[in-house]
Structure 1
Amino acid sequence: MTTVKVKFRASSTESKEGVLYYRVIHNRMARQISTGSKLYDREWDDVAQDVTLHSGVESSRQEYLLSVRGKLEEDTAKLRSIVSRLERNGRTYTADKVVEIFRSNSECGSFISFARHIIEDLKRIGKVRTSETYASALQSFLRFRKRRDIFFDEMDSSLMVEYESELRRMGVCPNSTSFYMRNLRAIYNRAVEKELTPQNYPFRHVYTGIDKTVKRAVPLKVIRQLRDLELKANSVDGLARDLFLFSFYTRGMSFIDMAYLKKSDLRNGILTYRRQKTGQQLFIKWEKPMQDIVAKYDTSATPYLLPIIRDMKTDGRRQYLNASHVVNARLKKLGELLKLPIPLTSYVARHAWASIAKSKNIPVSIISEAMGHDSENTTRIYLASLDTSVVDKANLVILKSL
């Protein structure tokens, strides 16, 4: 049997406030939790375990007392919910366990604040990309919630089905919806592991799979049209076009990998880099179209090869994210100018290289190696045996076609 009560300890000095605390008793073991609130003796009714409101009190004090009352109701409800959950689990527990779970939950507050706590933890230990995917999913959920917080007990399957329906109504594609759901589920499961909530499977009725991606490739003709566009020198449009082409020239290099390319990565005509996504090392023979783009821009103030991260005093990742947003926005406009049937993004360059390589009868195994795919069905089979010179020749075949 566990009891939860709110207790008041009056100050030894009559003119000073006393303190409120929660007392948790289980198997005759008592533990205390500070509420962080203080009251005068006359403002507390020990029998009713409630804040006493008096007429004639200043409005600011009245508001404070009402906020204390609300906090006490909320916290005692949480404590009783924790006790009820531990009882249902049928496991042996102690008063200390109740306090531990409550304090963890209070630090994180709710699902939203717990998610923010996890995101900050991930950043602190260097898992920046995971923190960013969690943050992206959380922002979407917050928009749905109209920025309102939510307790774990409110996270149920009905709510998530409602959220999924709202995303569908807004025109969000199934894969993006699934992306949000999978990341929110991962955060929720972390809370379950910490025993902040029982596992209620709120995501069991929403889609968390991956649909076959709609092709985002463009033909070689479009690459030529983009290359030959008359754009102002040193313009944002010109930079967006050049970075797209650089990605295409380098076998569909991702934007993040381009952002972190350093001048020291280019030696003896070979560009060497590791994919941020997989850590796989790739080697690319340096060709004239690549050099033509690099030569356009002054990057003497940075160690980087391309003008994406420009300010060495500012966070590089933030600069990369901002540049990615700007470049993709400008590419979309350029795609509309060319009347393309699909939105033009930096990722289209990667799809295009693979599609055009296949149309040139370059074996799938070489395409897989060239793009640094990390899958059991492709790269694991071919990585050990392929000569990178074969890949370089494949790239040269494509570049000569332009």
Structure 2
Amino acid sequence: MKVTFSCFTQTCINKLRSCGSFSTAHLYGCAVHSFSEFLGRDTIRFGDITTQALKLYEKYLIRTSHSYNTISTYMRMLRAIYNKAVMAGLVKYVFNLFHDVFTGVDRNHKKALDEPKLKEILTGDVKSPVLKRVQLVAAAMYRLCGMPFVDLQHLDIDSIVDGILKYNRHKTGTSVNIPVNKDICKLITQLCVPSFDLSTEIGYKSYQSLLRKFNAGLKRLAKALNITAHISSYTFRHSWATNALHHHVPVEVISSALGHSDIRTTQIYLKGFDAQEIGKANRKVCKCLSVK
């Protein structure tokens, strides 16, 4: 029986799960499910993955209101699976197969909040204890230099030694050191976050469930405070990085605080300056040309 793309994908997913790569396995599944919906059938053949079909699929995703970053994720997952099939000798390599579809990062997609909206989200008056808890978690993420939600789940007061919070990023293993004061220590103590063993499927699913609840809580919080901007757990990380840049913190320092191993990753996070800021900078730089 000839192996299909769908069947090979399931083999890849099973291997990923067996080695604890549950997030990648989940993305593989989402991408293949989406492409199946586009085709209108459950089984995807290797012959279905063509330049023309991928371009039509991209148009389908745009038409169905998917963001460009989601489109990029799906395309990159399909490409990764296809390349594994090439390595396994199941299909021939096709030059520039994914060349005409978007596989990059949408830099125009604004994830950061400006400081007035950020202050309202983190300190605005809400009555619900559940929403107050959401605010508390969001404030901790922002005040800890844009700490990712996943790293916050493995944080406790014992992580602080001599006024320095030391942790390794779950995603990259990069070491991060953040000076903290008494207020932040108190905030960490108040959180009492549960810890999940993300090397197990049960732990991963429990974490994903908590993340979905947190993101849903953020949407309710934004609605309660009459803020229309899209807000998710990523918002506070991007906002910290962008606001740090606007306060003229060097990109190298921002990169270190975020735990990025490559400064180019940090630059993807950063929302550019507006025309007013650029004009102010230009006047300073060109001041030497002024007639005295």
Task: Pick the TM interval, shorter chain.
Answer: 0.7 to 0.9
Match of 2:282 in 1: none
Match of 1:335 in 2: 222
Q: Return the match for 2:167 from 273, 279, 282.
A: 273
2:57 partner SS: helix
Rounded Cα–Cα distance in structure 1 between residues aligned with 2:41 and 2:247: 51
- What letter matches 2:44 in structure 1? I
1:126 partner SS: coil
Match of 2:114 in 1: 219
How far is the alpha carbon of 1:315 from its aligned partner?
Answer: 2.4
Rounded Cα–Cα distance in structure 2 between residues aligned with 1:199 and 1:314: 33
**Where in structure 2 are the equivalents of 1:4-83 lying within 5 Å?**
75=1, 78=2
Alignment of 1:119 with 2:13, yes or no, is yes
Rounded Cα–Cα distance in structure 2 between residues aligned with 1:134 and 1:370: 31
Match of 2:69 in 1: 175
TM-score, length-scaled by structure 2: 0.79
Match of 1:324 in 2: 211
1:25-71: CA deviation from partner (whole Å, max 9, x where unpaired): xxxxxxxxxxxxxxxxxxxxxxxxxxxxxxxxxxxxxxxxxxxxxxx
Contact 1:240 1:331 in 2 (8 A): yes
Rounded Cα–Cα distance in structure 2 between residues aligned with 1:185 and 1:154: 13
- What letter matches 1:133 in structure 2? L
Rounded Cα–Cα distance in structure 2 between residues aligned with 1:291 and 1:232: 24
Contact 2:165 2:177 in 1 (8 A): yes
Are residues 316 and 145 of structure 1, via their aligned partners in 2, closer, same or farther at CA, if it must alter by over 3 Å?
same
- What letter matches 1:168 in structure 2? I
Higher percent of residues as helix: 2
2:178 partner SS: strand
Q: Return the match for 1:136 from 8, 21, 30.
A: 30
Q: Return the match for 2:234 from 327, 334, 347.
A: 347
Rounded Cα–Cα distance in structure 2 between residues aligned with 1:288 and 1:316: 31
Rounded Cα–Cα distance in structure 2 between residues aligned with 1:224 and 1:205: 41
Q: Return the match for 1:187 from 73, 81, 87.
A: 81
How far is the alpha carbon of 1:377 from its aligned partner?
Answer: 5.5
Rounded Cα–Cα distance in structure 1 between residues aligned with 2:36 and 2:125: 41
How far is the alpha carbon of 1:331 from its aligned partner?
Answer: 0.7
Rounded Cα–Cα distance in structure 2 between residues aligned with 1:116 and 1:214: 32
Match of 1:231 in 2: 127
1:278 partner SS: coil
- What letter matches 1:317 in structure 2? Y
Contact 2:69 2:104 in 1 (8 A): yes
How far is the alpha carbon of 1:274 from its aligned partner?
Answer: 0.7
1:240-276: CA deviation from partner (whole Å, max 9, x where unpaired): 2221111001000011111222454233432211112
Are residues 147 and 242 of structure 1, via their aligned partners in 2, closer, same or farther at CA, if it must alter by over 3 Å?
farther
How far is the alpha carbon of 1:308 from its aligned partner?
Answer: 6.2
Match of 1:374 in 2: 261
Higher percent of residues as strand: 1
How far is the alpha carbon of 1:111 from its aligned partner?
Answer: 0.8
- What letter matches 2:246 in structure 1? S
Q: Return the match for 2:58 from 164, 167, 183.
A: 164
Rounded Cα–Cα distance in structure 2 between residues aligned with 1:314 and 1:140: 23
Q: Which contiguous aligned blocks of 4+ residues in structure 1 show a shift greater than 4 angstroms?
A: 376-379
Are residues 294 and 264 of structure 1, via their aligned partners in 2, closer, same or farther at CA, if it must alter by over 3 Å?
closer
Are residues 377 and 177 of structure 1, via their aligned partners in 2, closer, same or farther at CA, if it must alter by over 3 Å?
closer
TM-score, length-scaled by structure 1: 0.59
Contact 2:38 2:60 in 1 (8 A): yes
Where in structure 2 are there 5+ consecutive unaligned residues?
267-292
- What letter matches 1:331 in structure 2? L
Alignment of 1:359 with 2:262, yes or no, is no
Contact 1:271 1:285 in 2 (8 A): yes
Q: What is the total number of aligned residue pairs between the two structures?
A: 262
How far is the alpha carbon of 1:191 from its aligned partner?
Answer: 0.8
Match of 1:209 in 2: 104
Rounded Cα–Cα distance in structure 2 between residues aligned with 1:273 and 1:179: 28
Query: What's the Cα RMSD here?
Result: 2.6
Q: Return the match for 2:44 from 121, 129, 150.
A: 150
Higher relative CO (CA 8 A, sep ≥ 6), structure 1 or 2? 2
- What letter matches 2:110 in structure 1? K
Rounded Cα–Cα distance in structure 1 between residues aligned with 2:235 and 2:70: 17
Rounded Cα–Cα distance in structure 2 between residues aligned with 1:230 and 1:338: 8
